[in-house]
């Protein structure tokens, strides 16, 4: 006899009452320094992807061993009811995506950990997992209408509610204890080819969400009420009408209303100023730019918004008139430190296009720009605000032109990290090249990526780099062997108070390095590592958590 899903849910939770998140996550908890848990996308609001845990450290990391491993279930037909499965969606027959090993089941984003439970997401899927043993407590599946299933960046939590975006442009609210759907609401118009991958961010009574689009629709960032799902404010990445701020950087209303700038990566938040900092995506058309002469604000920019109103405090454009998909969609890192001998509140950004920026996060004042790539050749210099100036000779040509970086960038969206113990900013880099061909000389025909053909040629190599934020100089760099695979980007990084830097190399090894010099201290081969490492502590034991496609691995000291 088969028991119902809800009977199994009650049974699972009754057998493990200590796993029930009775008090959930109070929004005020996110203001505290990151310690035992990992309650939001970057761990805390700073975006540093840094943990104060130090039980695992330089001296003992060689004793790190596997605590548990779990492959996540993706079946939604109740064949295995030992894992309660909740099914949602607005269509009877979902468009088939995912499955073991496919992108639809790939864990690429952040995993939340709170009160001994992991909350994991992939496109159309969410799971609750026992953080001590890896046992799956429940599985939620969304029946998708379709859309681009490129990935999912993670979940957010408010009280006992979980939130995540699905590719066909809905935000889902779940009960954290059972996985039961509480409500869902549309984020954007699916018919305009938006797709949604961003990890939401909770700030008090604001739930901040965004979306992506590879066609010619306007980008936006939105705040909604985490209880009701009702809109609070929307900030558009491009102006809509002549005379709007930034409209002077577009040739006409039509181009800016279809200008892109999508917000698809979570930002960082400063509780003192109540400013939310994030990066915007590329302008559209992406590479055939003849129809959008000008700087194209506020695309490819770092932006600071007042979180309670959605009003812009300042912006800094990292790639004016971007013609190579060199957007600013990386989570900014906020630090308090010295610059030129004076205390400053700073924002750090290692951009996709190969340049490192330091800004004053109170005003947006530019302080430093330096290249961290030896291959990047798309820019001819810096403008008066310290932003790279795109070289017109590197725009797509009928006969082709060699450009670095290729479309995935030198450093794409996976998290960089900052260690306050070293004062260094760490990122993974890929010195990639592509040939760009102009396939349609009439810009009126270009939409999205249309009008240009990119042929990716390969890479001069991949590496992990440590950058001194005060000077922009590379303090150390570890190059991965060229014999390693030469695909897209590399997963993100984690630094800890144990003076360790965790990340995957280009061959699929999870590696622990000395933050001071990059020397490898421990490694294990996992294969296709797909997200940035995280860490948490339970019962006095520190765990290192990583995903490889649809499988979770947790390590602890033996």
With vertex at residue 110, the alpha carbon angle to CA 107 and CA 115, rounded to the nearest 5 degrees, is: 110
| CA 40 – CA 178 distance, rounded (Å) | 20
What does the block give as tokens for 189? 């118009």
- 440, with CB counted inside 10 A (0-12, 13-18, 19+), is middle
Q: Token match 């409500």: residue? A: 183
What does the block give as tokens for 76? 């939604």
Alpha helices in 394-507 (DSSP H): none
How far CA 333 is from CA of 302, 419, 427, 500, in Å, comes to 11, 11, 12, 18
| CA 460 – CA 482 distance, rounded (Å) | 8
Please name which of 285, 170, 300, 173 lies closest in space to residue 228, comparing C-alpha atoms: 173
Which listed residue (214, 325, 407, 505) is catalytic?
Answer: 325
Residue 325 is a catalytic residue: yes
| Lateral strand order in the sheet of 493-496 | 50-51, 493-496, 500-504, 509-514, 520-525
Task: Mark 57-69 as b/e (b = at least 16 C-beta within 10 Å).
Answer: bbeebeebeebbe
| CA 71 – CA 74 distance, rounded (Å) | 9
| CA 542 – CA 51 distance, rounded (Å) | 11
C-beta separation of 24 from 157 below 8 A: yes
Which residues lie closer than 8 Å to 270 by C-beta, 6 or more apart? Answer: 45, 277, 334, 345, 361
Looking at residue 444, the DSSP 8-state letter turns out to be: G
Residues assigned a catalytic role: 325
């Amino acid at each position: 006899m088969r028991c119902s899903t809800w009977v199994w849910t009650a049974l699972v939770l009754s057998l493990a009452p200590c796993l029930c998140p009775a008090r959930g996550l109070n929004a005020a908890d996110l203001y505290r320094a990151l310690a035992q848990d990992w309650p939001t996308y970057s761990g805390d609001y700073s975006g540093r992807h840094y943990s104060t845990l130090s039980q695992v450290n330089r001296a003992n990391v060689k004793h790190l061993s596997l605590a548990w491993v779990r492959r996540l279930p993706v079946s939604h037909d109740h064949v295995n009811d030992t894992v309660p499965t909740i099914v949602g969606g607005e269509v009877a027959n979902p468009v088939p995506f995912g499955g073991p090993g496919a992108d639809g089941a790939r864990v690429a984003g952040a995993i939340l950990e709170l009160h001994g439970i992991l909350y994991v997401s992939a496109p159309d899927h969410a799971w609750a997992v026992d953080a001590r043993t890896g046992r799956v407590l429940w599985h939620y599946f969304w029946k998708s209408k379709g859309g681009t299933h490129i990935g999912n960046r993670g979940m957010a939590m408010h009280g006992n509610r979980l939130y995540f975006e699905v590719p066909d442009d809905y935000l889902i609210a779940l009960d954290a204890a059972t996985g039961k759907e509480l409500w869902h609401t549309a984020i954007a118009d699916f018919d305009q080819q938006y797709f949604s991958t961003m990890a939401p961010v909770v700030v008090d009574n604001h739930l901040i969400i965004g979306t992506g689009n590879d066609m010619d629709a306007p980008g936006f960032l939105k705040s909604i009420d985490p209880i009701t799902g009702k809109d609070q404010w929307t900030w558009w990445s491009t102006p809509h009408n002549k005379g709007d701020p930034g409209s002077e950087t577009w040739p006409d209303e039509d181009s800016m209303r279809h200008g892109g700038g999508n917000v698809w990566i979570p930002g960082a938040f400063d509780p003192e100023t109540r400013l939310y900092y994030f990066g915007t995506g590329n302008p559209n058309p992406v590479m055939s730019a003849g129809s959008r002469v000008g700087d194209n604000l506020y695309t490819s920019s770092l932006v600071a918004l007042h979180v309670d109103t959605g009003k812009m405090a300042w912006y800094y454009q990292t790639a004016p008139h971007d013609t190579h998909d060199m957007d600013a969609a990386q989570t900014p890192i906020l630090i308090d430190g010295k610059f030129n001998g004076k205390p400053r509140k700073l924002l750090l950004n290692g951009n996709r296009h190969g340049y490192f920026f330091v800004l004053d996060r109170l005003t947006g004042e530019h302080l430093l720009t330096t290249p961290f790539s030896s291959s990047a050749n798309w820019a001819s210099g810096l403008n008066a605000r310290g932003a790279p100036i795109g070289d017109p000779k590197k725009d797509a040509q009928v006969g082709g032109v060699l450009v670095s970086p290729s479309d995935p960038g030198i450093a794409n969206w996976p998290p960089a990290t900052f260690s306050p113990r070293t004062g260094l900013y760490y990122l993974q880099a890929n010195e990639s090249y592509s040939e760009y061909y102009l396939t349609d000389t009439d810009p009126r025909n270009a939409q999205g990526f249309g009008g240009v053909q990119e042929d990716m040629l390969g890479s001069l190599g991949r590496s992990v780099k440590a950058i001194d934020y005060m000077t922009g100089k590379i303090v150390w760099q570890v190059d991965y062997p060229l014999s390693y695979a030469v695909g897209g980007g590399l997963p993100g990084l984690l630094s800890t108070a144990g003076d360790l830097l965790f990340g995957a190399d280009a061959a699929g090894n999870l590696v622990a390095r000395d933050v001071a010099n990059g020397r490898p201290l421990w490694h294990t081969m996992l294969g296709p590592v797909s997200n940035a490492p995280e860490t948490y502590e339970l019962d006095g034991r520190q765990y290192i958590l990583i995903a490889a496609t649809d499988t979770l691995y947790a390590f602890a000291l033996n």
